[in-house]
Structure 1
């Protein structure tokens, strides 16, 4: 299904490759952070259950780290969304330019007269 994901994009393989590369890179980063969060949550839970004062005070720092990680994941997803939108705009513009060149008008729009 991934092969068909970007079929029909005007600039073809170039955009598809860049978009997929960006997606893969960001998703790997997100997965690494989520794995790290799982470890943090387990440690926070363990410290909470232990009720040992030092462990409980350590949780404050762990929770801050967890919050920062969540913020980073949100930023990565926002960047992914922006990258995807830009690539779709670029491919759309490429399709438009390709279409207008092939119809012999060289990309210029014709204005209709109101008469």
Structure 2
């Protein structure tokens, strides 16, 4: 179609795919840690309710593990935020460069509603 724009050299499609894979991997890691935390919290609650001294002592280690997991989740979200910011900056840098029209002329990239 006349006037349609196509990505110019250095298309962001491959870049977007890598960013998406990174996000999916990070979100999977976060979900796994949150699942572990659910198990830890249940065990901590059961130990607390039992009031058995050995179980209560075990809670100290379980709570430390829970706190470490929470730190890992915070770090993963910080990394995700940084990656997202970098990808948005790279995306906006690419958008400002223009695109190549089907007739070979440079033009503005047309944004189509999702």
TM range (shorter): 0.7 to 0.9
Q: What TM-score, normalized to structure 1?
A: 0.75
Aligned partners of 1:53 and 1:11: how far apart in 2?
A: 62
Higher relative contact order (CA 8 A, sep 6+): 2
Kindly indicate whether the alpha-carbon contact (under 8 Å) linking 1:40 and 1:66 is maintained by their aligned counterparts in 2: yes
Alpha-carbon distance, 1:84 to partner: 0.7
The residue that corresponds to 1:31 in the other structure is 31
Query: Structure 2 regions of 5+ residues with no counterpart?
Result: 1-9, 100-104, 108-114
Task: Describe how 1:1-115 pairs up with structure 2 within 5 A.
Answer: 11-98=11-98, 102=106
Kindly indicate whether the alpha-carbon contact (under 8 Å) linking 1:11 and 1:91 is maintained by their aligned counterparts in 2: no
Residue-pair matches, total: 93
- 1:31-86, CA deviations, whole angstroms, 9 ceiling, x for partnerless residues? 10000000000000000000000000110110010000001001101100110110
Q: Runs ≥4 in structure 1, deviation > 6 angstroms?
A: none
Alpha-carbon distance, 1:11 to partner: 4.0
Aligned partners of 1:48 and 1:86: how far apart in 2?
A: 45
Higher helix fraction (1 or 2) = 1
Alpha-carbon distance, 1:18 to partner: 1.2
CA RMSD of superposed structures (Å):
1.8
Aligned partners of 1:18 and 1:71: how far apart in 2?
A: 25
Q: What TM-score, normalized to structure 2?
A: 0.75
Aligned partners of 2:20 and 2:14: how far apart in 1?
A: 10
Alpha-carbon distance, 1:92 to partner: 0.7
